Structure 1
Amino acid sequence: MFIEFSVSHFKSISVEQCISLEADSGTTHLDNTFQPHEKIRLLKTAVIYGPNASGKTNVIAAFYEFRHLILNSTDLKKDDPIDSYKPFKLDKSFRTQPTRFKITFIADDNIKYDYEIAFNKKQVLTEILNYYPHFEKVNVFTRTHTQALVKLGAGFIDQSVKRKVLANRLFLSEAANNIGNEQMGKLYSYFKKIEIWNVMNNLDIHRLTQTVSERVANEPHLSQKLSHLIKVCDTKIESTLIRERDESEFQWPHDLPPHIQHDIITQHKYSIKTIHPVYEKGQIIELQPFELNEESAGTQILYALGGLILKQFETGGLIWFDEFNNSLHPKLCRFLIRLFHNPKSNPKNTQLILATHETSLLDNSLFRKDQIWFTEKTVRGQTELFSACDFEGIQDDVSFQKWYMAGKFDAQPKLKEIEFIYGDK
């Protein structure tokens, strides 16, 4: 369960910015919250607004790079650069500063953890893991670039574990993958379950569509749920049919390299059909299949996002969506968000963080004030991330959309008059 994430010195983010899913003391929309512990209440969803180029995507990209580094740093060879290092470039004093990521979360063992890393292009400078059994902070391990070995704290169960790690790798990743430490493996699994997708990116949607199709093809109950979801969204589709293509169905030029053949098969492994009713004199007489790519862009995105959401509801975890409203009607966006808030559809308290420009979702019937976040850039090009709760006078019963459109939250594009384009004074 996600509690909060902070980042500094990454792309347009210079000084530390933090997004939190810890609920405030408000009592409205309690179904939008859940309580994993007596001392903490968390939000199921959060939404980020802001003008173009204000840094919404960079907040999500920061978490993507954090997760990517955790899951893949053991692939790095000695002296390989750390490509996740993408420093803030608009202030010379920042150009050599390390990137810092920090997350607070509750793992599958129902214990709270803090995990923090700092790194530059060449090496990990700091890596610290703490946890809170019985709500008391205990260090699991600490690693600095000046130490030859990782320092194991009282919270590390196996004190005999190998403590040396390459300078460009994370110890958490090394212990989970190459050493096989069970304790670190459980934390590694937490990050592996997190899903991060850009709904505007066609390649992302294609990859997600194939991932969803693989799951649906092997899990009939998930296929049925997805068909029901697509049907209730007024697509006029009765059901979906997913089939794994046999490799013999692919026809190749004789000189096409095997690795390219493999890539094409992987990218088009599943045939996805939507089933529509055919009518005669007002009565359904047969069913007509269509290829998914014959459907509207919105229906294709609904298939991909809907399948992911339904699967994640079974396992729990966290989903990040950038450009969430792409090709989806606002009412459909609202419907999908409400699925997260409903205890029946979301029994494992899967969490969602999304970035969007769709202001109709800024509605106090859908969100609490502590679920709403904004990004804005300073005159020096630095992203600032802030909550609606930071504004004096904001209550859960105000019209969030009216406040936003009136500029009370800032986080809007500051447009010049049209004469500016043509040089008129």
Structure 2
Amino acid sequence: MLIEFSIGNYRSFKEQVTFSMVAANLVAKDKKLDENNVFEVDNDLKLLKSAAIYGANASGKSNLATALNFMRWFMINSSKETQSTEKIGVEQFQLSTETEAKPSFFEIVFLMNRKRYRYGFEATRDKVISEWLFYVPKSKETKLFERKLHKISVSKTYKADGIQQKTRDNALFLSVSAQFNVEIAKTILNLLTNRVALISTLNDTGYRGYTVSCLIDNKNKHEIFQLLKKLDLGFSDVKVEESEITADSLPKELPDELKSLILKNVEGKLSSVQTIHQKFDGKGSPVST
């Protein structure tokens, strides 16, 4: 269960951005916070069930999702999907001479088995500069491991002594630990693999069919359109049309094997989605759509 996610440049507060699901952080700013969107973990922690990020174009919304997606992938795969000579996929902020050569910073705070964990790392394109994992077994945060370049100190609870020497400069110790069956690391990566899902409009191919099916359903279409109207995207309606696809309707020059493949993938139907826009005359009066 994700609590907070932070990204930035080398622990610089000015360049660090944090996305938080902690309800208390928002109540102070918005007294109208919907209590139906809040659930209590314990007496000291309340989290949001859902949260949304709004902002202008090119304001960094997509970068936050991209950074979390990279962090998740690197944690799961850096020990097995990369070679010693490969570069790490971080991108330093190039428009500041102060940060362009400094490491990128990633940190997540999450709940696992009703305990609070804090994991993070700093990395350049060439190597992991630092890495850490802490948790709260009772009331005080306790170190499980901490890494500074080649030096990795490990607690007895983490049970990974001897794995330090097997960790490459461009791989995470957490990822290597899981590969060598360290139970805590395996549980964390299993949580990330099966419980953290990232859906980004930068890669929406896998969700188009589901979106179209929701728009075809009149009840879902109404609810979706009410949301789109509030976002003020500039169109007045959404029109969905379905047409039957047969072998005879496809171009005759297509090979039969390709026709069969197309018919199998579209399941005999092709859907098109159109947005309806209002047209205006020279005086600014609406004339048609």
Q: Does 2:143 correspond to 1:139?
A: yes
Contact 2:3 2:110 in 1 (8 A): yes
2:248 is aligned to none
Normalised to the residue count of structure 2, the TM-score between the two structures is: 0.69
Q: Equivalents in 1 of 2:147, 2:68: separation in Å?
A: 21
Q: Equivalents in 2 of 1:72, 1:269: separation in Å?
A: 36
1:308 is aligned to none
1:69 is aligned to 74
Aligned residue type for 2:133 = L
Cα distance change, pair 27–53 in 1 and its aligned pair in 2 (3 A): closer
Q: Equivalents in 1 of 2:117, 2:186: separation in Å?
A: 14
1:2 is aligned to 2
Contact 1:7 1:100 in 2 (8 A): yes
Cα distance change, pair 272–174 in 1 and its aligned pair in 2 (3 A): farther
1:58 is aligned to 63
Q: Equivalents in 2 of 1:95, 1:28: separation in Å?
A: 38
Q: Does 2:220 correspond to 1:233?
A: yes
Q: Deviation at 1:195?
A: 1.8
Q: Equivalents in 1 of 2:16, 2:147: separation in Å?
A: 21
Point out where structure 1 has 5 or more consecutive residues left out of the alignment.
Answer: 213-225, 238-248, 253-264, 274-289, 298-326, 328-425
Contact 1:127 1:144 in 2 (8 A): yes
Q: Deviation at 1:93?
A: 2.2
Cα distance change, pair 270–57 in 1 and its aligned pair in 2 (3 A): farther
Which runs of structure 2 are paired with 1:299-318 in the superposition (5 Å)? none
Q: Over aligned residue pairs, what C-alpha RMSD do you find?
A: 3.3
Point out where structure 2 has 5 or more consecutive residues left out of the alignment.
Answer: 223-238, 241-254, 276-289
Which runs of structure 2 are paired with 1:205-284 in the superposition (5 Å)? 205-208=204-207, 230=217, 232-234=219-221, 251=257, 271=265
Q: Deviation at 1:182?
A: 2.1
Q: Equivalents in 2 of 1:191, 1:134: separation in Å?
A: 23
Q: Does 2:182 correspond to 1:181?
A: yes
Contact 2:130 2:147 in 1 (8 A): yes
Which runs of structure 2 are paired with 1:16-415 in the superposition (5 Å)? 16-24=16-24, 28-74=33-79, 75-83=81-89, 85-107=90-112, 109-147=113-151, 150-156=152-158, 158-160=159-161, 162-164=163-165, 165-176=167-178, 178-192=179-193, 193-199=195-201, 201=202, 204-208=203-207, 230=217, 232-234=219-221, 251=257, 271=265, 291=269, 293-296=270-273
Normalised to the residue count of structure 1, the TM-score between the two structures is: 0.48
Select the structure with the greater relative contact order (CA < 8 A; seq sep ≥ 6): 1
Q: Equivalents in 2 of 1:2, 1:269: separation in Å?
A: 41
Q: Deviation at 1:172?
A: 1.1
Cα distance change, pair 57–27 in 1 and its aligned pair in 2 (3 A): closer
Q: Percent identity?
A: 22
Q: Deviation at 1:180?
A: 2.1
Q: Equivalents in 1 of 2:64, 2:139: separation in Å?
A: 29
Count of equivalent residues: 231
Cα distance change, pair 14–69 in 1 and its aligned pair in 2 (3 A): farther
Cα distance change, pair 81–14 in 1 and its aligned pair in 2 (3 A): farther
Secondary structure of the residue that 1:78 maps to in structure 2? coil
Contact 1:141 1:155 in 2 (8 A): no
Q: Equivalents in 1 of 2:2, 2:40: separation in Å?
A: 12
Aligned residue type for 2:172 = L
Q: Equivalents in 2 of 1:269, 1:251: separation in Å?
A: 10
Aligned residue type for 1:169 = A
Contact 1:138 1:153 in 2 (8 A): no
2:244 is aligned to none
